[in-house]
Structure 1
């Protein structure tokens, strides 16, 4: 198997033991990064490294198993249902936090949409559903229509979201003329159609991606972007400010900057909280007020935690952006900072 450091002979057992996925990347993305100016950074997103053998962590950093209410459906936060519709992606991100699922025949993927629809109907507090996986846009448009058959009649759902990195990996997917009817269907059902793109770096925003976003926005699709803070890839305020600025320019609202998760085989991507806070300060110094729409988030087992600052008192200040317990949402809390800490569990209580 080819690694960034060179070729190494590995057994299937070694790959499984260290949770290392095989190298898979679209021809489009490979050419996009090799022909661009950022190959030395972007290669780390898709090319394996020997560091994956020594990267500790676990495979369910956010407690997805504990929040699964029906096969393929998670209900962690009251208003949101997370629907895992496929275990496939166009390419394999080396930092993937769902590597336990992606590329495998996973039993965590939704199959019984009648059962899922019944659960959602019985929970009127759920106002939106996020289709994820894997990447929902590896599925055919016809398959996506069949999923919508179960979701669109539910009156208390007011938006349908699609989480995807396909606009970076294979933007041609969005040139499918049949997609227009899919999004029109959502809008005609009185619901918002939202695509959450996954641009980690300005070098991923191709001309093709821009064109697809422009076309879909004309169809009434709303766009948000999530980015993961990744060592050696985008741990630079200049790069991230340029990425968020470009997103804003093409009509994609920067939404989340995720702190890297301590995922087995991928925790070497994590930057320290101190460094992350410094990077976020640098980003905000470079953006105008209307471009500062992102939150620096740690998607922890207990909830989505917004990382606010490292105070002069040596404490990391945070607040819950989302939590299973509504009373905790918005509450600011802090923990003593520990040098090198990259996750809430690394910080001592007190």
Structure 2
């Protein structure tokens, strides 16, 4: 995999940011949790030729704003929901297994900046131990392999992970969360991959790839071809996007992105509100503006294309953002919650114009 030169790894510390070059010390980078710059040659060339470089550069190129972005490094309480090293169990039916701290390229808005591109003890060291926990919890019907990106691992390594999951009868699907179809679609040319998915099928489970296309300009012809090939092999596809200031905060762009996903057989799944992550909160869009964008998306899509939910992945659960009422309150409901009785319940908070997150809204 080819990688561009690293502007955050310069001995003189004269570093190149989108806005300008400036002198930064190593300690400043560490204190501010600045992720190393890392992008595949494929993606760099794709965003240039897409005609959307001025928007898509913010996904992978460092910005000075990262030093000013306030927030925390674990916005969704992942530490608190870790049940054995590398395995999270926040929602009853789902296990989240962190299998690597590496990605094909590093997104500047990543909500796992504390892990990605670093040596981390949050990555599962023992998949047998994780599988033992899953086997003891029959309410868990699916496992999501994440990280990092599972497809930076060799297929042989993925097979070894799956070895521990296939014998668990109550699992009915295995998901792979990945942005490699945008960053390096050639990864999916691996001749060993079809056998991996066939093994999952033969064990009575559904292989699902959750793609991460944030913008129409990321869906290359290579990616489209790989998706169609894998679908013919029985792999299901979902897509999640993040609403990002300066990148895709435009209903026309997101509608075109979701329509293209639908066209190639990838079901739009979640549009995430960007999280208040330290070093990445400058990507957040105000909630009122997010609702305007969602309305604009839905006005541009046919009924069968409107399959996404506008979601805030909060510490307390996945919250669907519904509408801003005439009474000045923001209406929401829990799409997922640790407490089953709260799922589906509509609630509201007084709205304040700058709010980008639930915690920015008054409690009553």
User: Which interval holds the TM-score relative to the shorter structure?
Assistant: over 0.9
Residue deviations 1:89-134 (CA, integer Å, cap 9, x gap): 0101000000100011100000111111110011000000000000
Q: Establish whether residue 242 from structure 1 lines up as the match of residue 256 from structure 2.
A: yes
Deviation for aligned residue 1:34: 1.2
CA distance in structure 2 between the aligned counterparts of 1:298 and 1:100, rounded to whole angstroms: 20
TM (norm. structure 1) is 1.00
Deviation for aligned residue 1:349: 1.2
User: What is the SS of the residue equivalent to 2:95?
Assistant: strand
Q: Establish whether residue 28 from structure 1 lines up as the match of residue 35 from structure 2.
A: no
Structure 2 equivalent of residue 201 of structure 1: 215
User: What is the SS of the residue equivalent to 1:182?
Assistant: helix
Partner residue of 2:242 out of 225, 228, 239 = 228
Q: Establish whether residue 185 from structure 1 lines up as the match of residue 194 from structure 2.
A: no
Structure 2 equivalent of residue 340 of structure 1: 354
Deviation for aligned residue 1:37: 0.7
Deviation for aligned residue 1:347: 0.4
Structure 2 equivalent of residue 216 of structure 1: 230
CA distance in structure 1 between the aligned counterparts of 2:183 and 2:25, rounded to whole angstroms: 28
Partner residue of 1:158 out of 172, 177, 187 = 172
Gaps of 5+ in 1: none
Residue deviations 1:33-84 (CA, integer Å, cap 9, x gap): 1122100000000001100010000000000000000000000000000000
CA distance in structure 2 between the aligned counterparts of 1:90 and 1:9, rounded to whole angstroms: 27
Q: Establish whether residue 56 from structure 1 lines up as the match of residue 43 from structure 2.
A: no
Does 35-44 or 128-137 show the bigger shift?
35-44
User: What is the SS of the residue equivalent to 1:65?
Assistant: coil
User: What is the SS of the residue equivalent to 2:290?
Assistant: helix
CA distance in structure 1 between the aligned counterparts of 2:354 and 2:296, rounded to whole angstroms: 19
CA distance in structure 2 between the aligned counterparts of 1:176 and 1:93, rounded to whole angstroms: 24
Residue deviations 1:157-188 (CA, integer Å, cap 9, x gap): 00000000000000000011110000000011
Deviation for aligned residue 1:10: 1.5
Please give the residue correspondences for 1:54-93 in structure 2 after superposition, counting only pairs within 5 Å. 54-93=68-107
Please give the residue correspondences for 1:1-350 in structure 2 after superposition, counting only pairs within 5 Å. 1-350=15-364
CA distance in structure 2 between the aligned counterparts of 1:270 and 1:251, rounded to whole angstroms: 29
CA distance in structure 2 between the aligned counterparts of 1:12 and 1:93, rounded to whole angstroms: 20
Deviation for aligned residue 1:11: 1.8
CA distance in structure 2 between the aligned counterparts of 1:112 and 1:24, rounded to whole angstroms: 28
CA distance in structure 1 between the aligned counterparts of 2:165 and 2:22, rounded to whole angstroms: 47
Q: Report the count of equivalent residues.
A: 350
Deviation for aligned residue 1:19: 1.1
TM (norm. structure 2) is 0.96
User: What is the SS of the residue equivalent to 1:8?
Assistant: strand
Deviation for aligned residue 1:341: 0.1
Deviation for aligned residue 1:324: 0.1
Gaps of 5+ in 2: 1-14
Greater than 4 Å deviation, 4+ residue runs: none
Deviation for aligned residue 1:334: 0.4
CA distance in structure 2 between the aligned counterparts of 1:43 and 1:114, rounded to whole angstroms: 40
CA distance in structure 1 between the aligned counterparts of 2:91 and 2:205, rounded to whole angstroms: 20
Deviation for aligned residue 1:12: 1.7
User: What is the SS of the residue equivalent to 2:319?
Assistant: strand
CA RMSD across the alignment:
0.5
User: What is the SS of the residue equivalent to 1:238?
Assistant: helix
CA distance in structure 2 between the aligned counterparts of 1:277 and 1:46, rounded to whole angstroms: 26
User: What is the SS of the residue equivalent to 2:321?
Assistant: strand
